[in-house]
Amino acid sequence: MASLIEMKYGTGTLSLNVDGVFRVEKSGNNAICYYNTPGDGAGEVWAVTIDMSEDVTDDDAAALELLAKRAQQAPGSKTLFELPSALDATVDSMAVSSETYP
Amino acid sequence: MANQFIVNLSTEDGLPMKEAALAGWDESGATIDADGTTAALDVVSSTGSGSGAKATVTVTGQGTGAEAVTVTITVGGDGYAAGDEVSLTGDGVVFTGDLTLTLDAAALVTPDSEAQALVPVDYALFVQLATSSADAVDMRQIQPDKNTYWRLSLNGGTTDNAEAILIAVNIAMKQAMQAPHRNPVLVLPEGVTCYDVELMA
């Protein structure tokens, strides 16, 4: 069963499947999750960039990485992720891209 | 065992118009005034309940005897059906009066012919709105060397119900991913129907 992370969105939540996520970093004002899945170029992997309503900090990204790793060890989980630096932040959008292995 | 959710497909609430050049307009109620292209004009339904479509009208060769009028649907809107009568009212520069058309199936987007579609979630990552007006919802997925998505094309999506639509699709995806051995059914907000499901690259 998939390991999901929930993020606040409007009156509900949106989910992100974090199976295969091995690293989360701050990228600009967003968080980027790297997946253990080959991307469309040599040495690249797929990644999901999460754009939140508030700027993501390094500590926020570290917290998301920790939560993803915990979720992976609890199949079927769906844990709510809140930015430690801005608890009321909501997810604006997510996007997939092929990124150089970090 | 595959995990998937079920989408009931329907055209009973109509379809968007196809966003393309559309032939067959009756020009008898219009006067062509000049070469040029109008701004986007509202496609007004005289019969039926379609709304929201927009079109531009381009005229070339006015007064030369080789006049050509091209109508291009730029926004598909929602709720149109074959047999509906629609019109475009001139801008007073390129043309005046009304262009009219009785819609046929070719004027509308092509729906899926099945009654239901299964959307597999084995590689699903997340869902997102394809447009802010919720004309479609995409479920993104990744596989080695492949970045694809399932697109659910919707009738009845608006900026007002976009959030509720996205949450509804997210719930169906989540239920399918976390409840193996059952196929949850997507429940869309009232007034919203799905007419096509397609795997996109």
DSSP helix, strand, coil percent of chain A (3-state; round to 5)? 15, 50, 35
If 0-12 CB within 10 Å is exposed, 13-18 middle and 19+ buried, where does residue A98 land?
middle
Measure CB to CB from residue A1 to each of B128, B140, B178 and give the nearest one: B178
Same domain, B116 and B195: yes
Domain end call among B107, B139, B156: B107
Same domain, B163 and B192: yes
Domain tally for chain B?
Answer: 2
Domain tally for chain A?
Answer: 1
DSSP SS3 for A79: strand
Same domain, B182 and B133: yes
Same domain, B121 and B99: no
Bridge partners (DSSP) of residue A34 are A23, A47
What whole-number distance in Å separates Cα of residue B128 and Cα of residue B182? Answer: 24
pLDDT, tens digit, for every residue of B86-143? Answer: 999 999 999 999 999 999 999 999 998 889 999 999 899 999 999 887 899 999 999 8
Q: What pLDDT does residue B132 have? A: 80
pLDDT, tens digit, for every residue of B158-167? Answer: 899 999 999 9
Q: Chain B contacts of A76, Cβ < 8 Å?
A: 178
Q: Chain A contacts of B180, Cβ < 8 Å?
A: 1
Mutate to test the interface with B, among A14, A16, A99 (most CBs of B within 10 A): A14
- The residue assigned the tokens 């005034």 is B33
Q: Which residue of A has its CA nearest to B166?
A: A14
Q: Taking residues B17-22, what's their average pLDDT?
A: 96
Looking at residue B107, what DSSP letter applies? G
DSSP helix, strand, coil percent of chain B (3-state; round to 5)? 10, 45, 45
Residue B1 has pLDDT above 70, yes or no: no
Q: What is the mean pLDDT of chain A?
A: 93
Q: Which residue of B has its CA nearest to A17?
A: B125
| Residue B78 near residue B194 (C-beta atoms within 8 A) | no
B19 domain residue, yes or no: no
If 0-12 CB within 10 Å is exposed, 13-18 middle and 19+ buried, where does residue A88 land?
exposed
The DSSP line for B33-53 is --SEEPPPEE-EESSSS-B--
If 0-12 CB within 10 Å is exposed, 13-18 middle and 19+ buried, where does residue A49 land?
middle
Q: What is the span of the domain harbouring residue A39? A: 4-100
- Work out whether the CA dihedral B148, B115, B129, B188 comes out positive or negative: negative
CA distance A69 to chain B (A): 16
Residue B65 has pLDDT above 90, yes or no: no
Q: What pLDDT does residue B133 have? A: 79
Chain B residues within 8 A (CB-CB) of chain A?
A: 121, 124-128, 140, 142-147, 163-164, 166-167, 170-171, 173-174, 177-178, 180
Could you tell me the pLDDT band of residue B185, with boundaries at 50, 70 and 90?
very high
Q: What is the span of the domain harbouring residue B135? A: 4-13+110-200
Q: Which residue of A has its CA nearest to B177?
A: A2
pLDDT, tens digit, for every residue of A64-79? Answer: 999 999 999 887 777 8
